[in-house]
Amino acid sequence: MQKSNVDIRSLQIGFGGLKVLENLDLHVGASEFLVLLGPSGCGKSTLLNAIAGLIEVKGGEIHIGGRDVTWAEPKDRGIAMVFQSYALYPRMSVRRNMSFGLKVARTPQSEIERRVAEAAQMLRLTNLLERRPSELSGGQRQRVAIGRALVRHAGVYLFDEPLSNLDAQLRAELRVEIKRLHARLGATMIYVTHDQIEALTLADRIAVMQGGVIQQLDTPKKIYREPVNRFVASFVGSPAMNFIPGKLARGSEVAFIAGVNQLSLTGYAFRSQPTEAPAVLGIRPEHIELTASNDPSSVSARVEMVEPMGADTLIWCRLADGTAFSLRHDADTQVRVGDTLTVRFPADAMSLFDETSGQRL
């Protein structure tokens, strides 16, 4: 099976007067699993459809496997695609759904049978081959849709929110299955989702999009730990990152002033020389630590609400000056509403953002 890279150069796409993508550049390496993540309407499907050749581009170039396919028909691009609504051919059996495209392309019958059998075995569909889509469950339908893509032996597989019509448990199961498939085939995959768990678990790299622009393109770990701006920080992570407004101060050491509290920033990797200016501190709930009250860098906060979440507990607190934040603690925590906690914000787990531009400092 060939593995193609995808190279998108200053792509422009619009519908009528509406510009959806403008000068978008993206390079996806061969065998890479790239996830396009973003809120509804940010242009993820548009980008994917453009790669597939299903919508016309206004400008720019798309190269797949080193070949310029900007104006090629979808079938000639060496791609296969899986759709959100499955898009199975309803009156055809599972076998015919998978084989029809190959048959029309005049693939030899023995080759068709081999490929269908292989895909069916990989996706555990062998017993369902003679059924109609209407006789299958949602999860089975989506596996058939994936099977129909697999038999194409494409260089790039495109997925447009393939799991969003499934319930939570099936989604988790199929997520694992897709990941296993990627490991086994080593094929290039581009996967659209607005579910950040899917993105974080599946991706080699994630492209976080907003308003038709890729905000950050990085490994899941980097995206999670070092978001480049407030949008990425707030979009990725659940429960969400805490944001505390305040300002930077340069005394003997750089510190963050939030109301009456002063937090040390020793150990924070600034991107440029810090200046004294208003800023926003971002920190994830699981990075806030409980500590002894004599710790000099600690602050105290009152517990307002306790949310048990199974594996752990989310504790909502408020600082003396009214700033609210949440922190994650053990499932068997003894903390009660009304308690006063002493907490520490470790500088190396923080993200600092410019107040006006929202960019990481």
Partner 1 sequence: MRLSLNSRLSAISALLPALLVMLVVYIGATSWTVWISLTSSRMLPNNNFVGLRQYQILLGNDRWITSVHNIVIYGVLFVSLALLIGFLLAVAIDQRIRAEDTIRSIYLYPYSMSFVVTGLVWQWLLNPTLGIQHVLRSWGFEGATFDWIVRPETAIYCLVVAGVWQASGLVMAIMLAGLRGVDEEIWKAARVDGLPKWRVYVSIIIPMMGASFATAAVLLSTGVVRLYDLSVAMTNGGPGIASEVPAKFVMDHLFERANIGLATAAATTMLITVVAVVAPYLYWRTRKGEVR
Ligand X SMILES: Nc1ncnc2c1ncn2[C@@H]1O[C@H](COP(=O)(O)OP(=O)(O)OP(=O)(O)O)[C@@H](O)[C@H]1O
Binding stretches for ligand X (CB under 6 A): 15, 18, 20, 38, 40-46, 194
Burial class from Cβ neighbours inside 10 Å (0-12, 13-18, 19+) for residue 346 reads: middle
**Residue with structure tokens 């048990």?**
308
Q: Is residue 122 part of the contact set for partner 1 (CB under 8 A)?
A: no
Stretch that binds partner 1, among 18-26, 30-38, 86-94, 245-253 (CB under 8 A): 86-94
Q: State in angstroms the smallest separation of the CB of 77 from partner 1.
A: 9
Map residues 322-361 to x or -, x wherever contact with partner 1 holds by CB under 8 A.
----------------------------------------
d(CA 344, CA 347): 9
d(CA 30, CA 64): 10
Q: Which is nearer to ligand X, 81 or 112 (CB)?
A: 81
Out of 20, 33, 83, 162, name the contact with partner 1 by CB under 8 A: 83
Burial class from Cβ neighbours inside 10 Å (0-12, 13-18, 19+) for residue 90 reads: exposed
In eight-state DSSP terms, residue 301 is: E
Q: Which is nearer to ligand X, 44 or 143 (CB)?
A: 44
Q: Which is nearer to partner 1, 4 or 196 (CB)?
A: 4
Strand order in the sheet with 67-68: 18-28, 6-15, 59-64, 67-68
Centroid of chain to Cα 159:
13
Out of 15, 71, 89, 270, name the contact with partner 1 by CB under 8 A: 89
**Structure tokens of 48?**
């994917």
In this structure, the chain runs to a length of 361
Q: Considering CB distances under 5 to 8 angstroms, the limit depending on partner class, which of ligand X, partner 1, Mg ion, none binds residue 52?
A: partner 1
Q: Which amino acid is at 14?
A: G
Q: Does residue 315 contact residue 327 with C-beta atoms inside 8 Å?
A: yes
Helix H or strand E segment including 302: strand 299-308
Q: Report in angstroms the alpha-carbon separations of 1 from 151, 152, 157, 189.
A: 11, 10, 12, 13
Stretch that binds partner 1, among 88-96, 214-222, 336-344, 350-358 (CB under 8 A): 88-96
Q: Considering CB distances under 5 to 8 angstroms, the limit depending on partner class, which of ligand X, partner 1, Mg ion, none binds residue 290?
A: none
Q: Is residue 39 part of the contact set for partner 1 (CB under 8 A)?
A: no
Q: Which is nearer to partner 1, 73 or 332 (CB)?
A: 73
Q: Which is nearer to partner 1, 93 or 264 (CB)?
A: 93
Q: Which is nearer to partner 1, 36 or 228 (CB)?
A: 36
Burial class from Cβ neighbours inside 10 Å (0-12, 13-18, 19+) for residue 358 reads: middle
Q: Considering CB distances under 5 to 8 angstroms, the limit depending on partner class, which of Mg ion, ligand X, partner 1, none binds residue 79?
A: partner 1
Q: Considering CB distances under 5 to 8 angstroms, the limit depending on partner class, which of partner 1, ligand X, Mg ion, none binds residue 83?
A: partner 1
| Helix boundaries (H) for 247-341 | none
**Structure tokens of 1?**
């099976």
The binding site for Mg ion (CB under 5 A) comprises: 45
**Residue with structure tokens 């998108």?**
8
Considering only residues 145 through 174, tell me which ones interact with partner 1, judged by CB under 8 A. 148, 152
Q: State in angstroms the smallest separation of the CB of 194 from ligand X.
A: 5
Out of 87, 213, 257, 349, name the contact with partner 1 by CB under 8 A: 87
Centroid of chain to Cα 33:
11
Q: Which is nearer to partner 1, 54 or 309 (CB)?
A: 54
Stretch that binds partner 1, among 45-53, 181-189, 192-200, 287-295 (CB under 8 A): 45-53
In eight-state DSSP terms, residue 359 is: B
Q: Which is nearer to partner 1, 155 or 274 (CB)?
A: 155
Nearest to 29 by CA among 205, 212, 201: 205
Applying CB under 8 A, which residues contact partner 1? 49, 52-54, 73-76, 79-81, 83-92, 100-101, 104-105, 148, 152
